[in-house]
Chain A
Amino acid sequence: MLLDVDTATIMPLTLLSAGYPEDTMRSLTDRLPCRETQVTSLLALMGEPDQYSYPSIFIYGHRSTGKSHVVLSIMKDLEIPHASVDCVECVSPGLLFHQVLLAFFGPDAAALLPRCPSLSDFVRLYKQMKDHATQTRYIILDKAERMRDMDFSLLPVLLRLQELVDDNVTVILLSEIVWEKFRPNTGCFEPLLFHFPDYSKAELVQILSQDHHPSYTPELYASYINILLGVFFSVCRDLRELRHLAALNFPKFCEPLEKEEAKESDIHKLWRNIEPHLQRAMQTVYLREVSSIQWEQQQMDEKEATTPRGLSAHAHIELPYYSKFLLIAAYLASYNPARTDRRFFVKSHGKLKKTNFLKKHEKTSNHLLGPKPFPLDRLLAIFYSVVDSRVAPTASIFSQITSLVTLQLLTLVGHDDQLDSPKYKCAVSLDFILAISRTVSFDVVKYLYDFL
């Protein structure tokens, strides 16, 4: 009766295929590379179609480790009745109920739902509609972390839905976030946790090599993938992102081959050609500074990749003269401690102990801690001090301050409706303020405490 150990690894599959057609099982495992163990243990948990399965299964793992792909492929290929719901789309629980009822019992059942259905309505309708089909039904909730923001009782109800509707139903939750962050404070029915591990480097190579270019050999593509992973693997392990990058940069990799400067065996030469290019790709196309279409166009035009400016290079904003000075003043007020204002902005500040002033007791500079809030009076005082001409405190100056807030260059701290002495924070970077001050020929660095 007992068999050897090495057959034990194969046997579960053959056992499970007792309930499902064998060739579908085979094509299923072929379509899901590097996920054989997950597929078999998931199928083991699901059991035969007419067996009960655990009321709720929580599947977690990193982005693009094939959670929803595996689950949905199993459901589709084995023709298991299921409802697949994306929780991002379900802004109200009603939409979720509608989709579930629609998938299980057809449009007639879904039409019975009242306009704003409660959970009670859903469970009642489910109980009414359920027929005596013995096959397990599955509700698959993708991006289940969104469920936490919905109705507080929705998650506990779905977790014990099997008991509440008394039907052979299993809820599968898919999420990137661990279960500990889901648990309601009075507890709930604990789901079965199931982990989808990340792909290792070798597995990534294997999966990515599958979509090789038809006009080149698979070995060439595999070596290209190896080079790509050499650059990107320490930053990004997201399969989707890597696949996108691989597709984008492959023409550049093949360029020497097409020009017949190198042969397919000259891996080193090809590597030398592509490596700096991939480095540039990380700074541009990986960060979406340059869109994929632009990147492809650049490769076609054979231009130097950094010539067009990316999104973040367009940060410069044209502002009115006084607004610029207001912003500079706000920056100085945010990043300088108030006690140094006398030193910087009072024209005749008298005698000051220089040593005392320069002693920086804090090791961390303000540019590390971020902007500090300041009152409106301080902003105006610094503004009058840095602007050359005499400026009257007209309504336009004050309206410019509030419009800087709406442009999100300044932020209002605390209550929004405070009329007297509101507090602000400056919300622009040092580079931005340097560019602004250059246009009005003002040296900000001289006035910043951190750079003394």
Chain B
Amino acid sequence: MSKRRPAALTEAQCVSMPQLVLQAQKVMRERLCHQNLPDQPIGLESQHKHLLELLRRTAVHGESNSVLIVGPRGAGKSMLLGFVLKELMQLKEVQKNVLLVELNGLLQTDDKIALREITRQLHLENVVRDKVFGSFAENMAFLLEALKRGDKCSSRPVLFILDEFDLFAHHKNQTLLYNLLDVSQSAQAPVAVVGLTCRLDVLELLEKRVKSRFSHRQIHLFSSLLFGQYVDVVRSQLSLPQDFPYPKFSKEWNHNITKLCEEKSVQEILQRHFNSSKDLRSLHMLLFVAVSRMPGFNWTLRDVDLLEASRLILADSKANILHGLSILELCLIIAMKHLNDTYDGEPFNFQMVHNEFKKFIQRKSHSIHKFEKPVVMKAFEHLVQLELVRPVDAGACKVQREYQLMRLMLDHGQVMEALQRYPQCPTDVKQWALSAFA
């Protein structure tokens, strides 16, 4: 993309406004979706220093280390590591010397696949293909041995990066972890094992022998963001970079963004999102939707865009689904709500629901004519399919459909709210729902 920009500059010296906005959009979309590294990590200085020092010692001095980076999803674990690696690779002596192996617990779901991946990333495929291996540990040892011999002067340090570290702990016997950590403890090729995980109890998952070989160095990333900083993040995410090809436009744009962030309505929206979660990924989603809704003629982001984006993201999906149900299905949900109220959350079956519905029809309904039982059954099965109603024991017991015990997956408030929002809801249905013990 960086190649393209100067070309665009030459071919159109005077660029129209929509095109400029598109350019700006492009920059921002890449930043928000692709999780590009920002210019500097926010609020992670000490962790950054710690990790950098640790990895530098491995890379330069050949010290073996192991470390776990722990933090909730979207807390910037990969970003921090990316930063540190980028900085590390800028050092001359490190650049040529260090080998990097990246593994992901989601992809390498067992040790065999993981080992193959390690071999591949260390470019040892040709070596492995000829040799028949014994145990896993031998294979591992051979890999590291081969590594040692590959370079004549001295052994090259290897950085193992294990993303989703907790999933590696679920492998059989934790063989891979044991071997990696064992190598890091004994005097062999210098390795650094860096684990990234979102589980706080990850050490409890490790076997005793694996745990004892781990250095118990943990870096915790917990967001200590204040609301002021949160707004700053918004501003920096939405601002155009220094090297944007049209400085006049970008200056204007950045000025507008600064003004936007100070607006009261915007602050309110951001406060609401900040209160629900501090993680930056959900903020990125909000900003992405806002940016993508930005119309071309209006050459800056408006507060209505943000408001609309926030409305879209905070929408209750179950309420959306309830809105599309037919009246018969809605009646069944109300009947289930009544059953829940009367029998205190006990599971129910179709027969009871139908009975409750029949009572309602006989007593007061004028707007709904009678439905045959199979028609009601079909509506009920649609609710099951939407997983608004769930069987208590999923298909374990082979009873007839109408006697299978079910539970309603909605609470009282959701049903009542859906009823309020339902278009052209018959009045007697509404009254029935409101009467506590019908």
Contacts and interface: CB of A to CB of B under 8 A. Distances in A.
B423 A8 contact: no
A369 interface: yes
B386 A176 contact: yes
Contacts of A65: 324
Contact of B374 (A151, A190, A287, A370): A287
Interface in A169-197: 176-181, 186-190, 192-193, 195, 197
A284 to B, nearest CB: 10
Contacts of A306: none
Given A55-B33, A177-B386, A8 B317 contact: no
B104 interface: yes
B137 interface: no
A41 B290 CA distance: 11
Contacts of A55: 33
Given A41-B293, A164-B107, A198 B18 contact: no
A134 B4 CA distance: 11
Contacts of A7: 297
Contact of A200 (B378, B398, B423): B423
A156 interface: yes
A70 to B, nearest CB: 16
B315 interface: yes
A237 interface: yes
Given A15-B297, A234-B328, A286-B375, A47 B29 contact: yes
B22 A18 contact: yes
Nearest to A60: B317
Contacts of B285: 54, 190, 192
Interface string B282-296: 100100110011011
B349 A44 contact: no
- Interface on chain A toward B: helix, strand, loop, or mixed SS? loop
A54 B107 contact: no
A78 interface: no
Nearest to B116: A120
Nearest to B318: A178
Nearest to A282: B375
A364 B371 CA distance: 23
A179 B316 CA distance: 10
A308 interface: no
Interface in B16-35: 17-18, 22, 25-26, 29-30, 33-35
A287 B17 CA distance: 58
B25 A47 contact: yes
Interface string A88-125: 00000000000000000000000000000011100110
A61 B109 contact: no
Contact of B26 (A48, A180, A192, A413): A48
Interface in B265-320: 281-282, 285, 288-289, 292-293, 295-299, 312-313, 315, 317-318, 320
Given A3-B297, A283-B375, A163 B73 contact: no
A177 B293 contact: no
A2 B399 CA distance: 66
B379 interface: yes
Contacts of A189: 73, 281
Contacts, number: 189
Interface in A117-166: 118-120, 123-124, 134, 151, 153, 156-157, 162-164
A354 to B, nearest CB: 28
A316 interface: no
A11 interface: yes
B324 A120 contact: no
A48 B30 CA distance: 12
Contact of A153 (B25, B33, B167): B167
B26 A153 contact: no
Contacts of B349: 368-370
A120 B113 contact: yes
A124 B120 CA distance: 10
Interface string B195-215: 000110000000000000000
B423 A44 contact: no
A222 B398 CA distance: 46
B423 A186 contact: no
B403 interface: yes
Contacts of A413: 397
Interface residues of A, number: 79
Contacts of A8: 295, 298
A26 interface: no
Contacts of B139: none
B321 interface: yes
A146 B198 CA distance: 26
Interface string B397-414: 111101100000000000
Interface string A344-369: 00000000000000000000100111
B372 interface: yes
Nearest to B352: A368
B282 A54 contact: no
A282 B377 CA distance: 13
A178 B320 CA distance: 9
B398 A11 contact: no
B188 interface: no
B346 to A, nearest CB: 11
Contacts of A289: 374
A233 B113 CA distance: 54
Contacts of A367: 351
A15 B296 contact: yes
B106 interface: yes
A396 B34 CA distance: 71
Contact of A51 (B29, B293, B424): B29
B398 A235 contact: no
A1 interface: yes
Nearest to A279: B369
Contacts of B120: 124
B221 interface: no
A62 B324 contact: yes
A198 B22 contact: no
20 contacts: A11-B296, A12-B295, A14-B296, A15-B297, A47-B292, A52-B29, A120-B116, A162-B34, A163-B34, A181-B387, A186-B166, A192-B288, A192-B289, A193-B317, A233-B326, A235-B371, A289-B374, A369-B349, A425-B399, A427-B398
Interface of B: 1, 17-18, 22, 25-26, 29-30, 33-35, 73, 104-109, 113, 116-117, 120, 166-167, 198-199, 281-282, 285, 288-289, 292-293, 295-299, 312-313, 315, 317-318, 320-321, 323-328, 349, 351-352, 355, 368, 371-372, 374-375, 378-379, 385-387, 397-400, 402-403, 423-424
Given A7-B297, A156-B106, A237-B325, 19 more contacts: A3-B297, A47-B26, A48-B22, A51-B26, A61-B324, A62-B324, A151-B109, A190-B282, A193-B312, A195-B320, A197-B324, A200-B423, A282-B372, A286-B378, A371-B400, A371-B403, A408-B398, A411-B397, A425-B399
